[in-house]
Amino acid sequence: MTFYSNKTVLITGATGLIGSNLVEDLMKCDNIKLIALSRSENKLKELFKKYENCENFSYIVQDIKEPLQISEKIDVIYHAAGSISGEIIKNNPVDIIMTNIVGTQNCLEFLRKQKEQEHYNGRIILFSSATVYGNLENKDITVSEDDTQVTDKLSSPIAPYSQSKRMTETIATSYYKQYGIDVVIARFSYVYGYCKYYPNTALYSFINKALNNEDIVLNGTKFARRDNIYVKDVIKYLHVLSEKGISGEAYNISSNGKGDNFAGIDEIAKVIVDIVNNKLSKNIKLIKKEFNERISGIVMQNAKTLAITEFTGGG
């Protein structure tokens, strides 16, 4: 990956699912300087202990809601900071909103000041989400990057997350238009894969229960299929966006619903149960309510992203 040669890269949210995998991948590059940012020093030390004597790696312990105080000139910011935990979205919605919005503005302000004071242009890859899209149809739909006219009701439990993600995109593109900040937006479908510190989501809760020989209980009755993508594929697409993404544009990072990647959490739970029972000789059960409804889902079309890359993976 010669694109990163002699560049300094900042990753916020470096201990999360995408952030930690991105650190590991970028540290394979030659002549790169990498800065990992997270609120938790313990997580940073544990995850990246093997890099503690590497001159090209450093970390910053900081809440992203605080202004960035970095002396180095930054070439690329991967802004991955922010929680996706359903429990936190439900119980601490203000924290979700402020982290997303203030954290994004802090990254953009850093690049604006760097451009104006140091005459040095950096690029930000803003991490956005499938939740900027909505579906009012009575059928599954496929959306492109321009299909953002429908969204969650403001009374929806996930509105603090989805609406703040929409606002972060608006803020970022406004910085692009007003200050000329180099912004590329990555809209992820539902990302899965390994990391040391799993997000507090249903998927990883089900995996933990299954491995601990506990039955998986589906409390809901309405399940939408969703576009799922493996984290290693996400990383490959992110490299492409850093090098070839058009400033001011958004790109869907998704599997395009190919194969078994278009699946509801109930279907994923069944796969987990089957794998654990067959591979680990366990006897756990999937328990769900008698009446279950399949509601309309969303496939994120990734043609725009594929147009700038030869990589066509998808999980």
* pLDDT at residue 25 tops 50: yes
Q: How far is CA 127 from the centre of its chain?
A: 6
265-298 pLDDT, tens digit per residue, is 999 999 999 999 999 998 999 998 776 788 889 9
* pLDDT at residue 110 tops 80: yes
Percent of the chain clearing pLDDT 70 (strictly above): 98
Contact residues for 2 (Cβ-Cβ < 8 A; gap 6+): none
Q: Which residues pair with 191 in a beta bridge?
A: 229
Whole-angstrom distance, CA of residue 220 vs CA of residue 82: 25
DSSP 141-184: EEE-TT--S----TTSTTHHHHHHHHHHHHHHHHHHHHH--EEE
| Domains of the chain by residue range | 2-193+228-260+294-306
With tokens 């030659």, the residue in question is 30
Structure tokens at 178: 């007003």
Task: Give the CATH number of domain 2-193+228-260+294-306.
Answer: 3.40.50.720
pLDDT grade for 311, boundaries at 50, 70 and 90: low
Closest CA to 93 of 11, 37, 171, 154: 154
* pLDDT at residue 78 tops 90: yes
Q: Can you point out the beta strands (E) in the chain?
A: 7-12, 32-38, 57-61, 76-79, 123-129, 141-143, 182-188, 190-192, 216-218, 222-230, 249-253, 262-263, 286-288, 293-300
Element (H, E) at 86: helix 86-91
Whole-angstrom distance, CA of residue 135 vs CA of residue 149: 10
pLDDT of residue 87: 80
* pLDDT at residue 313 tops 70: no
Give, in order, the Cα–Cα distances in Å from 312 to each of 42, 192, 223, 298.
36, 17, 28, 20
Whole-angstrom distance, CA of residue 90 vs CA of residue 157: 6
Per-residue pLDDT, averaged over 58-80, amounts to 98
Closest CA to 131 of 101, 152, 100: 152
Strands 182-188 and 123-129: parallel
Closest CA to 259 of 203, 207, 313: 313
pLDDT of residue 72: 95
135-175 pLDDT, tens digit per residue, is 888 899 999 999 999 888 898 888 999 999 999 999 999 99
175-230 pLDDT, tens digit per residue, is 999 999 999 999 999 999 998 887 788 888 999 999 899 999 998 878 889 999 99
pLDDT grade for 86, boundaries at 50, 70 and 90: confident
Contact residues for 84 (Cβ-Cβ < 8 A; gap 6+): 161, 199, 201
Q: Angle at the Cα of 18 (from 65 to 286), degrees rounded to 5?
A: 110
pLDDT of residue 312: 43
